[in-house]
Amino acid sequence: MKVTVTRENFQRGLSAVAATIPTRTTLPVLSNILVETLEDGLRVRGTDLDISVSVQTAAAVERQGAITVPAKKVADIARELPDAPVQFESEGGRAVLVCGNSRFRLNTLPSEEYPSFPDVPFEEGWKLRGGELQTLSAHTSFAVSGEETRPVLNGVLWQVRGEEMRMVATNGHRLAKMGLQLGVGAGEEDLIVPPKALQQVERLFDAGDELEIGRSESHLGFRTARTEVYTRLIEGPYPNYEQVLPKSHDKECVADRGELTAAIKRMAIIASDQTHRVRLSFGPEKLALAVQTPDLGEAEDEIPIAYEGGPIEIGFNAQYLLEVLRYVGTDEVKVSLSAPERPATFEPVGGDQDYVCLVMPLRLME
Amino acid sequence: MTRRIHILPDHVANQIAAGEVVERPASAVKELVENSLDARAGLIEIDLQSGGKTQLRVADDGHGMVRDDALLAIDRHATSKIKDDKDLRKIRSLGFRGEALPAIAAVSRFELETAPAEGGEGTRIKIEGGRVVAVDEIARRPGTTVTVRSLFFNVPARAKFLRSSAAETRAASEATIQLALANLSTAFRLKSNERELLDLPRSAELAARVGSIWGDELAATLIPIDYASDGIRVAGLIQRPADTRPGSRRVYLFVNGRPFVDRFVVRAAEEGYRTTVPHGYKPALFLYLEVPLEEVDVNVHPTKAEVRFRNKIKTEATVTEAVRSGLEGLESAPSLGRHEASFQLVSRGPATGAPRPRPESGAASQIALFVPGDAPPGLPVEGEDTEVAAPMARPGAMWQLHDSYILAETRSGLIIVDQHSAHERVLFERIMQDYDEGGTASQRLLFPLTIRLSPTEAQAVEELQGILKQIGFELEGFGSNTVIIHAVPNPHPHFDAERCFREMVAELAHGSPLVDSARNQHERVAKSFACKAAIKAGQPLSGLEMAELFDRLFASELPGHDVHGRPTILRLSLDELERRFGRT
């Protein structure tokens, strides 16, 4: 193969792909990227076998072909090259890269060894704006579990229900759920997607891009004309989250999100490193916050709230509260409660987002 | 009518008393060496023939005696060491009854040669079976030499009970060792049938003396302790938990410089080792107690092996605390290569002064360990030998090896921490503390866990339900061996509650060396939980997580030891590195 490409396009293509390259791998070819010529351009591919990314860029093709090169080295080179056209060619099993007066000859691995990309039937899929996908994923991905024994909880549940679309994530202690109404129908799907893949999607597509989305038995694909992202899907039944969403509550509080966040942050300083437990006492007009950590000391705080319902005292992991408050985007937040051992829900006030976060309480000691 | 009651002649009374004081050659050696020590000898030479049965000789270079004193010394209850009964309550010297020399002389062919250090004539007194047969003026160097031949020649009943020469030699050697451990500034030499058994030069440090008695291998397993509280001071050497073994070990106890035996004190010391050594493992102990003279009664037993403490409970508690404080430091963790055990033996005398200030747990004690890369100026820097933990001001100086071990730079080298063991210690202490405070916080679950158990397990869970709740597991329903878990503890972000619960219940139901060594059900559950809930080997940790684990480990009471009796920390000193790289 032999192509000429602008330095800018070359670098952009490489950096898009480089993020998927595993740092440590038992399969040497995975630390390489695959560079292939197209009719009138270049395609760069990288994969860690779970997530695969492919990016096309314009290039002048002199000789067709494909080659694999060490991803990290080539990305580093591209960054340091002078602003001049880059000539890239394969020559007797090596890759030769010329830009201005700089010449590099790199060892390669045979392109046939590079893993093939998943075959996803996009024509049976649906379409979605990049921005919509980002909104869903950004509000839910944070809540996935980091613990590896229940793999389904490591993923984000993506439910497609005709014109409605929903993402849910939970680690069993807290849960985030966001819904979105689409203008168009999109069939019916339940997918469990690794959050890392959603991050790649957020990173590689613009809000205005119209994405084609398709799935195969085990994979999910996202693509625009130039960029493709594929991910392995997590298998297994997702826990029945709808069953744990509270159907009713008898206590409701509206608080200033900034004030509440600041007060919890202050309490979190004294809260135990291990449980991060903070005690909230809701009452008419005010919310009292308190922490006690035996080795360290105590702290109390108070903020004004609008409150309806009987007084209640309930404990939470401060870290979970802060996370949830970060993603509820409105100035005010609505907190609904029923009992000290039942979940609390957090929802935005105003705005039109269909968003709810659930936090399970910590048992309080007397 | 003849009188039935009459006073025994002195030599008969002495023979009877001798039976108490002198049971065998070793007790004669002990009495004579103690006299030499009281005479401030710099070198004491002991010479045995046939285990001391045919002859034993103790020679010293102490202050010696003039003729009149020497004659008085062989009289019963003649002593230079106490004058009246008030002194009896404040005994500082080793011998005090004034019965040793006459007692020995009463049952042997006895020869005492002495010359005073101030100069002047020497004296030789020969006694056979208690009767003085000769008193001569001789010329000799200052000091005293006592030769005892044919011990028990006139008490055949006693002579018959003497053991083999080898056994008697061992006993005499043991008596010498005991005194040598208490008197570092005196050199000792012990010969048996012209063969040298012990050659102990004066030593500045106890570890050196232990080394010259048993070899440096044992000395290297010992760590110094020095702790004082409420007028009682406990110093000495104790064995690193990782070096303890099951079975016999060396235990030497001293109070105000005097050897004694007391199984309660030993037990108190072992109490200090709780949770740091495997079940049945016994540490070597060299403990030196200093208590105010009026607080201890040494006049309990003729051979003075036992003493009585006025405040037994306080004394034992101080011993436990002293051992524990020794195990708190990094010194108690095993190291790669040589240990530099060092210990200055405390001078004899009553304990004085205030208790050693114990570092507060937490921030205050976390200053000196790690290289203070950007520590604010003016912070007190502790001495090289008292390494304690530091805040993780430099997470960069920490690495995780194979997702299982954490390597960190310290002031004097580096330490390797076993992340699982370390977290085990942290969790165990946390839980034990939580019990006192009414239990731990427990995270309610969105999706309760349903777990099937074996009948034995279900029964164990039912019995332990209250304790399990205290550590954070809220359970419901015992129908058909199934439990539903509604809330779980959350000790770290990688915690797998279901797996932890299953493993823990299996261990509690069927037992294991770990839980079977626990003192009560609460400790049983705490140990099992600590072991099953701790971060596993193979778990990658972020820099922040490592830093947090370190902070918590070094804020714990016994950071160097997990709950199985394994070390959590291995040390590698710069000295050792330099030695290995041939830089020294």
A217 and A301 inside one domain: no
B124 and B183 inside one domain: yes
A120 and A148 Cβ atoms separated by less than 8 Å: no
Q: Is the pLDDT of residue B343 over 50?
A: no
Nearby residues of A346 by Cβ (< 8 Å), 6 or more positions away:
A324, A325, A328, A333, A334, A335, A356, A357, A358, A359
Distance CA B409, CA B369 (A): 9
Question: Distance, in angstroms, between B448 CA and closest chain A CA?
Answer: 9
Q: Around Cβ B403, how many Cβ atoms within 10 Å? A: 12
Order of strands, sheet of B398-401, starting from the edge strand that comes earlier in the sequence: B398-401, B405-410, B413-418, B569-573
Residue of A146, A241, A361 with shortest CB distance to B493? A146
pTM strictly above 0.90: no
Judge whether B3 lies within some domain. no
Percent of chain B at pLDDT above 90? 29
Distance CA B208, CA A28 (A): 57
Cβ neighbourhood burial of B110 (10 Å; 0-12, 13-18, 19+): buried
* Pair type for strands B109-115 and B122-128: antiparallel
**Helices B543-555 and B419-436: angle between axes, nearest 10 degrees:** 50
- Write the pLDDT tens digit of every residue in A187-207: 788 999 999 999 999 999 999
Contact with chain A for residue B507, Cβ under 8 A: no
Strand runs labelled E in B413-558: 413-418, 443-452, 474-476, 482-488
Distance CA B42, CA B195 (A): 22
Least confident span in A22-26, A129-133, B236-240: A22-26
**Mean pLDDT, to the nearest integer, of A349-353?**
86
**Residue with tokens 């208690």, as numbered in its chain:** B130
A11 and A108 inside one domain: yes
Distance CA B97, CA B99 (A): 5
A289 and A301 inside one domain: yes
Judge whether A37 lies within some domain. yes
Judge whether A366 lies within some domain. no
**Mean pLDDT, to the nearest integer, of A29-52?**
91
B74 and B144 inside one domain: yes
CB contact under 8 A, A275 and B439: no
Question: What is B270-295 written as a DSSP string?
Answer: HHHTTTTS-TTEE--EEEEEE--GGG
Q: Is the pLDDT of residue B20 over 70?
A: no
Question: What is A158-226 written as a DSSP string?
Answer: EEEETTEEEEEEE-SSEEEEEEEE-SS---EEEEEE-HHHHHHHHHHS-TTPEEEEEE-SSEEEEE-SS
**Residue with tokens 């530099």, as numbered in its chain:** B340
**Mean pLDDT, to the nearest integer, of B390-409?**
73
Radius of gyration from C-alpha coordinates of chain A = 25
Contact with chain A for residue B450, Cβ under 8 A: no
> Which of B181, B198, B215 is the C-terminal boundary of a domain?
B198
> Which of A51, A79, A113 is the C-terminal boundary of a domain?
A113
Judge whether A365 lies within some domain. no
Nearby residues of B80 by Cβ (< 8 Å), 6 or more positions away:
B69
Half-sphere exposure of B134 (CA within 13 A, CB side): 11
Strand runs labelled E in A25-129: 32-37, 41-47, 51-58, 60-63, 66-70, 86-91, 94-99, 102-107, 126-129
C-alpha to C-alpha distances, B239 to A130, B90, B282, B346, nearest whole angstrom = 66, 32, 9, 18
Judging contacts by C-beta atoms under 8 Å, the chain B residues touching residue A366 are 438
C-alpha to C-alpha distances, B255 to B252, B349, B363, B424, nearest whole angstrom = 10, 10, 36, 37
For residue B378, what is the enclosing H or E element? Answer: none
Judge whether B193 lies within some domain. yes
pLDDT score recorded for residue B344: 36
C-alpha to C-alpha distances, A218 to A121, A130, A231, A235, nearest whole angstrom = 12, 22, 9, 8
Judging contacts by C-beta atoms under 8 Å, the chain B residues touching residue A172 are 445-447
Q: Is the pLDDT of residue A366 over 70?
A: no
Judge whether A267 lies within some domain. yes
**Residue with tokens 């439990």, as numbered in its chain:** B483
Nearest residue in A to B363, CA atom: A296
B237 and B258 inside one domain: yes
Total domain count for chain A? 3
**Residue with tokens 């024994």, as numbered in its chain:** A149
* Pair type for strands A227-232 and A251-256: unpaired
**Mean pLDDT, to the nearest integer, of B29-47?**
91
- Write the pLDDT tens digit of every residue in B288-340: 999 998 888 876 665 557 888 888 899 999 999 999 988 887 777 887 765 55
CB contact under 8 A, A361 and B444: yes
For B109, the 3-state DSSP assignment is strand
> Which of B170, B198, B226 is the C-terminal boundary of a domain?
B198
Question: Distance, in angstroms, between B372 CA and closest chain A CA?
Answer: 24
**C-alpha A347: how far from chain center:** 21
A190 and A174 inside one domain: yes
Judging contacts by C-beta atoms under 8 Å, the chain A residues touching residue B476 are none
Judging contacts by C-beta atoms under 8 Å, the chain B residues touching residue A273 are 548, 552
Question: Distance, in angstroms, between A151 CA and closest chain B CA?
Answer: 12
Supply the mean pLDDT for chain B. Answer: 80
Nearest residue in A to B440, CA atom: A365
pLDDT score recorded for residue B302: 56
Contact with chain A for residue B491, Cβ under 8 A: yes
Supply the mean pLDDT for chain A. Answer: 91
One-letter amino acid for residue B478 of the chain: F
Q: Around Cβ B250, how many Cβ atoms within 10 Å? A: 17
B119 and B214 inside one domain: no
Nearest residue in B to A146, CA atom: B494
> Which of A113, A145, A179 is the C-terminal boundary of a domain?
A113
Question: Distance, in angstroms, between A49 CA and closest chain B CA?
Answer: 21
Nearby residues of B377 by Cβ (< 8 Å), 6 or more positions away:
none
Nearby residues of A11 by Cβ (< 8 Å), 6 or more positions away:
A75, A78, A79, A81
Contact with chain A for residue B493, Cβ under 8 A: yes
Judge whether B4 lies within some domain. no
pLDDT score recorded for residue A365: 62
Judge whether A40 lies within some domain. yes
Judge whether B376 lies within some domain. no
> Which of B327, B346, B366 is the C-terminal boundary of a domain?
B327
What's A68's domain CATH number? Answer: 3.10.150.10
**Mean pLDDT, to the nearest integer, of B460-484?**
87
B143 and B45 inside one domain: yes
> What is the rounded (10 degree) CA torsion for B243, B244, B249, B250?
50
Judge whether A266 lies within some domain. yes
Look at A186 and A63; give whichever has higher pLDDT. A63
Judging contacts by C-beta atoms under 8 Å, the chain A residues touching residue B433 are 294
Judging contacts by C-beta atoms under 8 Å, the chain A residues touching residue B491 are 274
Half-sphere exposure of A311 (CA within 13 A, CB side): 8
pLDDT score recorded for residue A275: 77
A265 and A201 inside one domain: no
Q: Is the pLDDT of residue A319 over 60?
A: yes
B188 and B220 inside one domain: no
A42 and A57 Cβ atoms separated by less than 8 Å: yes
Q: Is the pLDDT of residue A272 over 80?
A: no
Best mutation site among B365, B427, B447, B542 for testing chain A: the one with the most A CBs within 10 Å? B447
Question: Distance, in angstroms, between B472 CA and closest chain A CA?
Answer: 8
What's B302's domain CATH number? Answer: 3.30.230.10
Identify the sign of the CA torsion B77, B81, B84, B88. negative
Q: Is the pLDDT of residue B10 over 70?
A: no
Judging contacts by C-beta atoms under 8 Å, the chain B residues touching residue A341 are 444, 486-487
Nearby residues of B437 by Cβ (< 8 Å), 6 or more positions away:
A294, A365
Best mutation site among A142, A267, A275 for testing chain B: the one with the most B CBs within 10 Å? A275
Best mutation site among A147, A238, A324, A345 for testing chain B: the one with the most B CBs within 10 Å? A147
Q: Which residues pair with B340 in a beta bridge?
A: none
B108 and B226 inside one domain: no
- Write the pLDDT tens digit of every residue in A102-125: 999 999 888 888 998 899 999 888
Chain A segment 317-346 residues within 8 A of B by beta carbon are: 317, 341, 343
Q: Is the pLDDT of residue B238 over 70?
A: yes
A218 and A134 inside one domain: yes
CB contact under 8 A, B446 and A358: yes
pLDDT score recorded for residue B3: 66
Full domain range(s) for residue B19: 10-198
Could you tell me the two tokens for A282?
């809701």
Contact with chain B for residue A13, Cβ under 8 A: no
Judge whether A364 lies within some domain. no
Nearest residue in A to B498, CA atom: A149
Distance CA B272, CA B483 (A): 38
B162 and B265 inside one domain: no
First to last CA, chain B: 90
Q: Is the pLDDT of residue B149 over 70?
A: yes
Q: Around Cβ A153, how many Cβ atoms within 10 Å? A: 24
A202 and A258 inside one domain: no
Judging contacts by C-beta atoms under 8 Å, the chain B residues touching residue A363 are 441-442, 444, 472, 474, 487
Q: Is the pLDDT of residue B492 over 80?
A: yes
B141 and B236 inside one domain: no
Total domain count for chain B? 3
B447 and B478 inside one domain: yes
A71 and A21 Cβ atoms separated by less than 8 Å: yes
Judging contacts by C-beta atoms under 8 Å, the chain B residues touching residue A337 are none
**C-alpha B452: how far from chain center:** 48
Chain B segment 518-547 residues within 8 A of A by beta carbon are: none
**Mean pLDDT, to the nearest integer, of B503-524?**
89
Residue of B442, B486, B491 with shortest CB distance to A362? B442
Distance CA A158, CA B479 (A): 37
Judging contacts by C-beta atoms under 8 Å, the chain A residues touching residue B443 are 173, 275, 317, 360, 362
Full domain range(s) for residue A23: 2-113
What's B126's domain CATH number? Answer: 3.30.565.10
Could you tell me the two tokens for B208?
């050196």
B186 and B225 inside one domain: no
CB contact under 8 A, A365 and B494: no
- Write the pLDDT tens digit of every residue in B159-191: 778 888 888 999 999 999 999 998 999 999 999
Question: Distance, in angstroms, between A28 CA and closest chain B CA?
Answer: 20
- The closest of B100, B140, B93, B95 to B120, measured between CA atoms, is B140
pLDDT score recorded for residue B383: 37
> Which of A219, A242, A265 is the C-terminal boundary of a domain?
A242
Could you tell me the two tokens for B379?
């912070």
CB contact under 8 A, B490 and A364: no
Order of strands, sheet of B474-476, starting from the edge strand that comes earlier in the sequence: B443-452, B482-488, B474-476
Q: Is the pLDDT of residue B12 over 70?
A: no
- Write the pLDDT tens digit of every residue in A288-311: 999 988 778 999 999 999 999 999
Could you tell me the two tokens for B23?
């049971």
Residue of B362, B441, B474 with shortest CB distance to A315? B441
For B19, the 3-state DSSP assignment is helix
CB contact under 8 A, B499 and A149: yes
CB contact under 8 A, B498 and A366: no
A108 and A144 inside one domain: no
Judge whether B348 lies within some domain. no
Judging contacts by C-beta atoms under 8 Å, the chain B residues touching residue A146 are 493-494
CB contact under 8 A, B445 and A175: no
Judge whether A11 lies within some domain. yes
**Mean pLDDT, to the nearest integer, of B6-18?**
64
Could you tell me the two tokens for B212?
């010259």
CB pairs < 8 Å spanning A and B? 74
A254 and A224 inside one domain: no
**Mean pLDDT, to the nearest integer, of B545-550?**
87
A93 and A66 Cβ atoms separated by less than 8 Å: no
A334 and A349 Cβ atoms separated by less than 8 Å: yes
Judging contacts by C-beta atoms under 8 Å, the chain A residues touching residue B552 are 273
- Write the pLDDT tens digit of every residue in B410-449: 877 888 999 999 999 999 998 998 888 877 888 999 988 8
What's B508's domain CATH number? Answer: 3.30.1370.100
C-alpha to C-alpha distances, B74 to B23, B101, B430, nearest whole angstrom = 18, 5, 64
Q: Is the pLDDT of residue B139 over 70?
A: yes
**Residue with tokens 């000391």, as numbered in its chain:** A297
Contact with chain B for residue A152, Cβ under 8 A: no
B300 and B272 inside one domain: yes
> For B430, phi and psi rounded to 5 degrees?
-60, -50
CB contact under 8 A, A364 and B441: yes
- Interior angle at CA B170, CA B164 and CA B171, nearest 5: 90
Distance CA B288, CA B129 (A): 38
Least confident span in A165-174, A215-224, B139-148, B391-400: B391-400
Least confident span in A294-308, A338-352, B554-568: B554-568
Contact with chain A for residue B440, Cβ under 8 A: yes
